[in-house]
Chains A and B, each alone.
Chain A
Amino acid sequence: DSGVTQTPKHLITATGQRVTLRCSPRSGDLSVYWYQQSLDQGLQFLIQYYNGEERAKGNILERFSAQQFPDLHSELNLSSLELGDSALYFCASSPYGDTQYFGPGTRLTVL
């Protein structure tokens, strides 16, 4: 158990819909990262927050957005969902920005 929690574990929705994925980092970790993992694209870095501020952006679509709240939990919002958005979404947290501790992931299925 990494200490990072993600909810929900599974999410099934339809194209065009909007969903929110939630991540609670390890106690005291200020950095939160979001990743997308799919069979065809592998592990893709989406975005990083540090103590509430966006620090780095990767291959994140404009339909996706994220934020980190004062209590350090983070949410990833995915809108206008497409079939290709079906993937595992991981959150990771880090105390000092080097070692990342990954959550168990949210499996998103878009039908």
Chain B
Amino acid sequence: AQSVTQLGSHVSVSEGALVLLRCNYSSSVPPYLFWYVQYPNQGLQLLLKYTTGATLVKGINGFEAEFKKSETSFHLTKPSAHMSDAAEYFCAVSRGSGGYQKVTFGTGTKLQVIP
């Protein structure tokens, strides 16, 4: 079975400060890993994903995440927070192939950016 743990349901940072959202996963096979963002009253949208290859993945809006197999982690970072980054962030893991991938989402982390 696969699972995702997001540490901290709420994270507050000051505008301009480093953003670090933590995600740990468990999977019996090499996983695909994702970060999604949800702005208020909207659906989720993909920020970035790791499938294979380079372990440092860059996404939209200046976010990046690093896949660390030894730590089973896929933490999301951004060097400098903007007010517009305030949203809920979901980490997800999937395994399988083709149309049969099972995707498991974490419980989400709400990011508050303080001016």
Q: Count CB-based A-B contacts (< 8 Å).
A: 63
**What count of chain A residues pass the 8 Å CB interface test?**
25
The complex places the Cα of A98 from the Cα of B45 at a distance, in Å, of 13
Residue of A2, A96, A100, A101 with most chain B CB atoms under a 10 A cut-off: A100
Q: Is the CB of A33 within 8 A of B100?
A: no
Binary contact track A90-107/B, C-beta < 8 Å → 1, others 0: 101010111111111100
**B49 at interface, CB cutoff 8 A:** yes
**B61 at interface, CB cutoff 8 A:** no
Partner of B42, one of A30, A92, A97, A104: A104
Q: Is the CB of A50 within 8 A of B100?
A: yes
Chain B residues positioned under 8 Å from A102 (CB to CB): 36, 43-45
Chain B residues positioned under 8 Å from A92 (CB to CB): 43-44
Q: Is the CB of B43 within 8 A of A104?
A: yes
* Chain B residues engaging chain A, CB cutoff 8 angstroms: 32, 34, 36, 42-46, 49, 51, 90, 94, 96-105, 107-108
Nearest 7 CB-CB pairings of A with B: A97-B101, A102-B43, A50-B99, A102-B44, A97-B99, A31-B99, A42-B107
